[in-house]
Each structure stands twice: as C-alpha cells, then as structure tokens.
Amino acid sequence: MAKKKSGGKSILSFVAWLTGVLVSLAVGFSMIDGTLLLPAWLGGATVAMIAGWIVVVTTFLGVILAVLKK
C-alpha cells in the first residue's frame, strides 16, 4: 500500500508549536513589564517578574532545542 504524505499534519503541528511559542513569549514579557501581575498574597509584581523571566528563558531554550533536534 502506498504511504500517505503527512504534509498537512506537519504544517498544522508547526503552526500549533509556533502559536505556543508566541503566546508563551507574550505572557512572559507581559509579566516582566508589569502588565500581568500576581495578587499580593502570591508575591505581587516581584514574583510575577521572576516568573516572567523563567517563562521567557525556558521558551527560548525550548526553541533552541527544537531547532537543534531537526
């Protein structure tokens, strides 16, 4: 039997992955800039900024690892 090409699946997977990266970066930078804050009982702006940096750094690491894997 002939193999089916999965070109559509790979494009859809890439679009989903790219969307996840963009959303992660948007949330991370919003937390760093102070647009998105945590409530005071969760640490407030300082903890939100630290969490934002963690999100941004881990997202960039994920992108680098994904590119190196291919």
Q: What are phi and psi of 6, to 5 degrees?
A: -110, 40
| pLDDT confidence band for 2 (50 / 70 / 90) | low
Structure tokens at 67: 């590119």
pLDDT of residue 6: 60
Contact (Cβ atoms closer than 8 angstroms) between residue 26 and residue 56: no
Q: pLDDT tens digits for 12-67?
A: 999 999 999 999 999 999 999 999 999 999 999 999 999 999 999 999 999 999 99
